[in-house]
Amino acid sequence: MVQLVGSLRKELADSLSACRVLVVGAGGIGCELLKNLVLTGFKNIEVIDLDTIDVSNLNRQFLFQKKHVGKSKAQVAKESVLQFCPTANITAYHDSIMNPDYNVEFFRNFMLVMNALDNRAARNHVNRMCLAADIPLIESGTAGYLGQVTVIKKGLTECYECQPKPTQKTFPGCTIRNTPSEPIHCIVWAKYLFNQLFGEEDADQEVSPDTADPELSWNPADTEARATASDQDGDIKRVSTKDWARSTGYDAVKLFNKLFKDDIQYLLTMDKLWKKRKAPLPLDWLEIQKLACPQEVTGTGLKDQQVLGVAGYSQLFSRSVETLRSMLADKGDGAELVWDKDDPPAMDFVTAAANLRMHIFSMNMKSRFDIKSMAGNIIPAIATTNAVIAGLIVLEALKILSGDVEQCRTIFLNKQPNPRKKLLVPCALDPPSANCYVCASKPEVTVKLNVHKTLVLALQDKILKEKFGMVAPDVQIEDGKGTILISSEEGETEANNSKFLSDFGIRNGSRLQVDDFLQDYTLLVNVIHCEDLEKDVEFEVVGDAPDKAPTPPSAQEEDKNVANGNKDSAEPSTSSKAPAEQDDVLIVDSDEEEPSSSTMDVSMESGGHKRKLHDAETGEASAKRQRLDQPSAGDEDDDDIIALD
């Protein structure tokens, strides 16, 4: 007779209480997950999160209360969870998981790692560390009503980076408010600003400088003091932007100087942010009107495809503010406007504000046409979705600790029930991709660039760190001499940073061996010299096309893999001998941008009954996963949901 401890077999319950697990992230999913783990019987848990608690977290991160604002998420989560199970042994780290202290040996201390992250760089890093340590990783994500959980095991499943990822569409608040580095960051900021001034105010859409930025919070006491100290603009104790704007009569010049001069000057006082970044340049309304010509225009073609100068966007900002102020007044007291990309004044406002911010942060400005195409709806964070996904993470963890990794599944949480009335759809895990530049036996990639225009610093920061997710790369040229191009040792190769690749004999066909010792990761980079890259494109990864769906399996292949002769088959059988059945997802029309996955991102496409899993960051459909004639099989899609939690 099977001995039970609660609802678990005694052997499994003993395994839970003895094993050490790591939870990376203590936000929306992380809070729910930590609570679930201790209530299930996990006793030895370590949790790491760099973030501090913000007022806007309190509506969905239930381990936190108002008195905790400004404190470390990891530490407060630990204290709250211990109230559920005082005997648990929980260690909290207020730190970045990308800190070199958390090396491969650190990861080998755990039987299991669970991600509850909100950004791709950290996900990539944890993926590589778990591969290097050969530790199972449970990856997860949510976007609005959609969610996904999957298991990554070296040699058995796809890793997080096996499928190319499209451009991220949701971002941490501190990136939007303090350190934008891409045009989309500025566009999201401008949409937030529209709502703060004219629409429904939302604490999650604050636009003033964020003094609780994790990069500033190495001293938790200082962070807490900052977060609760004052009511001035930009502090976490929020002053209503709309009330302030009303008090000025929506004066466009005062708004301009506050947003693009005063707030930027305040950001410049946060000197830690600018040690490794180019500092922003404040704009002053009077100086712009004196020095520039409003008619300055670049680009040809239709008016919407032209890019105005700074003076032109300043005037557009002023006109759009006046128009929107009048529209708001016509609606009466307490009225709100709703942002719509097809509403000309609203689109003018976002175009002007986004471009002015791009200029401040040294980015190339965009045409109205480009901004309109990039400005999708913001995906909300929903507490119930986080709770469901956290529960699924624990269920997959139980399979792993029972020794049943082969029974693990990718599970999708959908917005609407499918034709079989299922909201949760389990899908078979895919094997590793032979072409993955992370988990292949000999990772290799080909990069197309102009060797006469690409600086060594750009190779390091934009290609190796940003694109390929490395933390501290070392680069050696395969030229027969073993020339060291980049060293992770501080100061060794800094003199090379301002030189072009061609200065070191790198040309078409050159090969670079790149090592990241922290990640225990080696990548061979083949260089293709190209002089006709598209405008503003510094490099291309050959074969990397995340905006296009992978080629779906042929009809013949699908026929071979159909379970029970039905393409849209049912849920897995409980019999180990029965052939597999699978669920498909009902696709519904939605006004939201809908995410999807490549080891974490979910989204549905409107119009049909077949599931098309989209990328959470672009809404592009991914190919259907292979159907298997095995128990508990299903389709799977291949991206991650990246949401603000």
SS (HEC) of 158-175: CCCCCCCCCCCCCCCHHH
Consult the annotation and say whether 190 binds a ligand: no
Of the residues 31, 85, 174, 186, which is catalytic?
A: 174
Consult the annotation and say whether 60 binds a ligand: yes
Cβ-based neighbours of 12, under 8 Å, separated by 6 or more = 398, 401, 402
Walk across the sheet containing 89-93 and list its strands: 89-93, 44-48, 20-24, 112-115, 137-143, 146-152, 410-413, 424-427
Cβ-based neighbours of 58, under 8 Å, separated by 6 or more = 64, 65, 66, 69
Consult the annotation and say whether 474 binds a ligand: no
Consult the annotation and say whether 561 binds a ligand: no
Consult the annotation and say whether 121 binds a ligand: yes
Consult the annotation and say whether 229 binds a ligand: no
Consult the annotation and say whether 27 binds a ligand: yes
Consult the annotation and say whether 49 binds a ligand: yes
Cβ-based neighbours of 209, under 8 Å, separated by 6 or more = 177, 178, 234, 263, 266, 267, 270
Consult the annotation and say whether 186 binds a ligand: no
427 counts as catalytic:
no
Amino acid making up residue 227? A
Consult the annotation and say whether 299 binds a ligand: no
CA 235, CA 221: separation in Å to the nearest integer?
Answer: 16
Consult the annotation and say whether 376 binds a ligand: no
Cβ-based neighbours of 79, under 8 Å, separated by 6 or more = none
Q: Which residue bears the tokens 């005037």?
A: 315
Consult the annotation and say whether 122 binds a ligand: yes
Consult the annotation and say whether 530 binds a ligand: no
CA 571, CA 415: separation in Å to the nearest integer?
Answer: 18
In 19-91, alpha helices (H): 28-40, 73-81
Buried residues in 79-91 as b, exposed as e (16+ CB within 10 A): ebbeeebeebebe
Consult the annotation and say whether 627 binds a ligand: no
CA 72, CA 68: separation in Å to the nearest integer?
Answer: 8
Consult the annotation and say whether 261 binds a ligand: no
Consult the annotation and say whether 89 binds a ligand: no
Q: Quick count: other Cβ atoms within 10 Å of Cβ 221?
A: 10
Cβ–Cβ under 8 Å, residues 514 and 522: yes
Consult the annotation and say whether 436 binds a ligand: yes
Cβ–Cβ under 8 Å, residues 137 and 154: no
Enclosing H/E stretch for 152: strand 146-152
Cβ–Cβ under 8 Å, residues 635 and 624: yes
Enclosing H/E stretch for 484: strand 483-486
Consult the annotation and say whether 118 binds a ligand: yes
Residues identified as active-site? 174
Which residue ranges are tagged as binding site for Zn(2+)?
159, 162, 436, 439
Which residue ranges are tagged as binding site?
25-30, 49, 57-60, 73, 96-97, 118-123, 159, 162, 436, 439
